[in-house]
Chain A
Amino acid sequence: MKFLTAIFLTALLSFAIGLFTVLPWYSFVFCALLVAVAIHQKPFKAFLAGFIALFLLWCILALITDNANEHLLSKKVAEILPLNGNYILLIILTGFVGGLLGGMSALTGSFLRKIK
């Protein structure tokens, strides 16, 4: 239960802070960190929760945008990056980048909680 709550809260707060685009794009790392401090879990679980939260959030947001866009832009970006024009890979990469940062900051949060 704790695990799912952590995922849900991290995703929700990350999404919310991402609406304030005057803040830097990486502001969500503080949300992931805070949630990991507030909901104590073992480091690996904390990492996983943070990772899954951001991976899902970024993938879902990208998927929704991409579908409405009929993959017009994602195919182009997937050539530039270069992912051979594969927009599914691009969505996964997007999720992975978000997830990695989310996971690492949750891990940091989990260790921070242990110090206290």
Chain B
Amino acid sequence: MRLVPFLIAAIITTGLVIVLNTQLKTGKSKTPKLGYFLSPQYGFWKNAEPANVDFNQDIKMPGITNQVDVYFDERLVPHVYAENDNDAYFIQGYIHAKFRLWQMEFQTHIAAGRLSEIVGEDKVATDKYFRRLGMVYAAENSLKVLDANPETKAACDAYTAGVNAYIKSLKPEQIPFEYKLLDYKPEPWTNLKTALFLKFMSWDLAGKAEDLTYTNAKTYFGYDDYLKLFPITQDSLDPIIPKGTVYEKPEITVKTPTTLDSLYFDRKDTLTNIPPIKPNKNNGSNNWAVAGSKTKSGKPILCNDPHLGLNLPSLWFEMQITTPTYSSYGVTFPGTPAIVIGFNDSCAWGVTNAGRDVKDFYEMKFRDSTMQEYYFNNTWHKAETRTEIIKVKGKPDVEEKIAMTFLGPVMFDKSYPSDISKNACIAVRWKAHDASNELQTFYKLNRMKNYLDYVDAISTFQCPGQNFVFASTNGDIAIRQQGAFVAKWKQQGDFLMPGTDSAYLWQGIISPKENPQMVNPERGFVSSANQQATDATYPYYLGRANLFPPYRGLIINRKLAAMNNITPEDMQHLQTDNYNVFAEICKPVLLKYIDHSKLNDTEKKYLQMFSTWNLRNDINEKGATVFKVWWDSVEVATYADEYAKATVKLPWPDESTLIDKLISDSSNYKFIDNINTPDKKETITDVVTLAFKNAAKTLQDLEQKNKLEWVKYKDTRVQHLLQIPALSNLHLPIGGGVHIINATSENHGPSWRMVVHLTNKIEAYGVYPGGQSGNPGSKYYNNFIDYWAAGKYYSIIFVNKHDVRKDERMKWHTVFVNG
């Protein structure tokens, strides 16, 4: 009977292997395959990069034609010296993959609606949303024009080949950490993935879908009250193009539909299907350029800090690309060839988000539930059907059938309802769906030599619309809001529109030369901070005011106007400035209306903190926390009674709306009155005082937890894309916040800070909250974060091929040779 112990042992051993080779469920998530993950020859230990890692290497690479030299400086920034464009982009792809492969693929998986494939059924809702929004459809359209242009096609082909050369060189144990954690493998890169990544940025920056919630608000409050909550103008606006600028007569005369009141403003729609994932509402940025007349050196200085989600691995990867025809330095998107924000030998450029509304929703009328024909301008039109298959890890596939109209995909229908009460079919018309070649703009910006090249480079840029700032060594500065913007009648597309009548369609795209722009202005600077581009005299409708926070623009313009003899160091101080101009506007109003006689001693203590506060959101300021908590409480005291009874999701009014009303319309702003106290008509004093008393309770609570300092209250973090705390940097010592130039909020803020001094030999500074390596096991994973939080900058190394050989700041040299 010796067989029995053998069998028992064999079964237990096999069982152990199976268990250790399975992802086990723990709560909502799954463990990695523990045996595999822990194995020192296969698992995560292989990603533990030696601290003294050596990147000196000679690599034989069949895909390149000449030798390519890559020098890494001590921050692991690669400086690529290639003999031609193709080799340069091939090596860019290779290097992106070497340091950021998992992130590149993960981000394009989000865009393509493929998260369920790697994470499981938890993500089906997100995937459905992106599929139905038409992200893949949009990327396919853009790929066609990308391929039709020989320059961008060659760049993408070379880039893709470089990524794939790296993937092919990977041994199984060398795949990035996160693949092992989630248990899947990298797949080949394609040009479509590059297009998907660019569409992901379009979604992040021009994908706001608040039209649906605003439609709800219009229905719930009625159009008149809606306008009191969501006005079209802001009192404190200082636009990108100064007030008083004279605009020419518009090329497109927009015809307002005659049925507007009955078919648009008076429609009673409520929509309940609110997207599971939304672009961050604070996505924005600062950029500016000052002319030589205002600088100490007499040469321009250009600055840019794009505010985006703060993630690890960082969205950005810093590098230099040099060929015999050009040399450019800046930050790149892993997943995309070329440099996105940066400078070259003679020019610098930067971007902020234009934020204009290029995504509208139309209610379509279909003949029947098969959704094959829809009614438009009194005739029936055929609809195509697009089938999207969502693969789900460990579960059967999910199939989405999407009717395609000439306007765009029917995002909502009975299988993906927008509304509980009826099966409305709602199509989305989004500029990002249209074929466009944004890469071409970056390709040309990298190589531009002067202002005219800049204009040529950006004039084809369509979506997401950006404020492109420019400065050159020959002294020019400029800014232009560029994108394919829709010529709209006032409030067109702010709400759901009827999709049966051509009167409601987009009537044209504003020509690039009519876009708001400025070159070498008298005042000696140009700037943008996502505020509305112009005043109301601009001949086209710019969109709802709530798309454009006014305060950063206000303070930047004020400071720049006052500054002279500017140095790069001054610009660094300005980019990291924590002055709260919104609080400056609110403080006198709040102090005017607070009723001291109703406050107890504790409350008076907090009021004292506020009234003596220096209006700076520096890390140790307690007054900043008091202000934030109090202001939020004022908003609640003003609006919560009206909002309480709503059963559908409604947007919340902007800070600017309430403060503008408190200042200008103080006696009769309807929402001040608490509708739950019919016998009493509340005054602003009642609201502000009550709000303060409520805030004081929160503040007391915070104080007990020792969280009254602004830095502790705000609690900034840079978070891993999988939101795993162990892979994130938490509790960062950094001030700033929303409406502040240093726009660092909880997990969002300046994702790259750049200052470029356009002296004959460019002098530049930069920093981003991350590190060049995407590997959590590398010491280069997050090594910039503390520096960034402290408001410090790295001096950028930008040298030519001749000088780099003897540059002692270069730490490693990788040589790629054909072979």
Contacts and interface: CB of A to CB of B under 8 A. Distances in A.
B9 A107 contact: yes
B13 A65 contact: no
Contacts of B89: none
A115 B21 CA distance: 29
Given A69-B49, A114-B6, A97 B172 contact: no
B42 A104 contact: no
Interface string B35-60: 11011111111111111100000000
B50 A73 contact: no
Interface in A67-103: 68-70, 72-74, 76-77, 79-80, 85, 93-94, 97-98, 100-101
A104 B11 CA distance: 10
Given A21-B171, A69-B777, A80 B724 contact: yes
A79 B9 contact: no
A94 B38 contact: yes
B172 A21 contact: yes
B725 interface: yes
Contact of A43 (B5, B39, B172, B727): B5
A58 interface: yes
B644 interface: no
A61 interface: yes
A72 B13 contact: no
A100 B39 contact: no
B40 A73 contact: no
Contacts of B725: 79
A103 B177 CA distance: 28
A79 B181 CA distance: 13
A107 B13 CA distance: 9
B36 A25 contact: yes
Contacts of A38: none
Given A77-B726, A101-B13, A62 B40 contact: yes
A66 B43 CA distance: 13
B51 A115 contact: no
B395 interface: no
Interface string B648-674: 000000000000000000000000000
| A: interface residue count bin | 35 or more
Contacts of A41: none
A96 B739 CA distance: 53
A72 B35 contact: no
Contact of B13 (A29, A43, A68): A29
Nearest to A66: B48
B777 A73 contact: yes
Given A76-B726, A104-B12, A18 B39 contact: yes
B17 interface: yes
B789 interface: no
B20 interface: yes
B13 A104 contact: yes
Contacts of A65: 40, 45-46, 48
A59 to B, nearest CB: 9
A26 interface: yes
A97 B779 CA distance: 27
> Which of A85, A93, A98 is most buried by chain B, counting CB atoms within 10 A of its CB?
A98
B9 A108 contact: yes
A108 B42 CA distance: 24
A80 B39 contact: no
B34 interface: yes
A79 B172 contact: no
Interface string A36-69: 0000000100000000000001100110011011
A4 interface: no
A66 B41 CA distance: 13
Contacts of A18: 39, 41-42
Contacts of B528: none
B562 interface: no
> Which of B3, B35, B48 is most buried by chain A, counting CB atoms within 10 A of its CB?
B48
Contacts of B778: 72
B434 interface: no
B48 A58 contact: no
Interface residues of B, number: 44
Interface string B779-819: 10100000000000000000000000000000000000000
Given A77-B44, A80-B724, A115-B3, A70 B34 contact: no
A111 interface: yes
Given A58-B39, A114-B2, A66 B45 contact: yes
B10 interface: yes
Contacts of B777: 69, 72-73, 76
A66 B44 CA distance: 11
B745 to A, nearest CB: 25
A1 interface: no
A22 B9 contact: no
B51 A72 contact: yes
> Which of B13, B43, B725, B781 is most buried by chain A, counting CB atoms within 10 A of its CB?
B13
A105 interface: yes
A99 to B, nearest CB: 11
Interface string B233-256: 000000000000000000000000
B172 A74 contact: no
A94 to B, nearest CB: 5
B16 interface: yes
B173 interface: yes
B776 interface: yes
A79 B726 contact: yes
B188 to A, nearest CB: 18
B47 A73 contact: yes
A22 B158 CA distance: 29
Interface in B157-193: 171-173, 177, 181
B42 A25 contact: yes
A21 B16 contact: no
Nearest to B44: A77
Contact of B48 (A26, A74, A97): A74
B6 A25 contact: no
Contacts of B2: 111, 114-115
Given A29-B17, A105-B13, A97 B41 contact: no
B40 A58 contact: yes
B42 A21 contact: yes
A94 B45 contact: yes
Nearest to B173: A21
Nearest to A22: B172
B48 to A, nearest CB: 4
4 smallest beta-carbon distances between A and B, as pairs: A73-B777, A79-B726, A61-B40, A111-B6
Given A26-B17, A73-B44, A97-B20, 9 more contacts: A22-B172, A25-B42, A29-B13, A43-B5, A61-B45, A62-B45, A72-B49, A98-B39, A115-B6
Interface of B: 2-3, 5-6, 9-10, 12-13, 16-17, 20-21, 34-36, 38-52, 171-173, 177, 181, 724-727, 776-779, 781
23 contacts: A18-B41, A26-B17, A26-B21, A29-B13, A68-B52, A70-B779, A73-B45, A76-B727, A76-B776, A76-B777, A77-B44, A80-B727, A98-B39, A101-B35, A104-B12, A104-B16, A107-B9, A111-B5, A111-B9, A111-B10, A112-B6, A112-B10, A115-B2
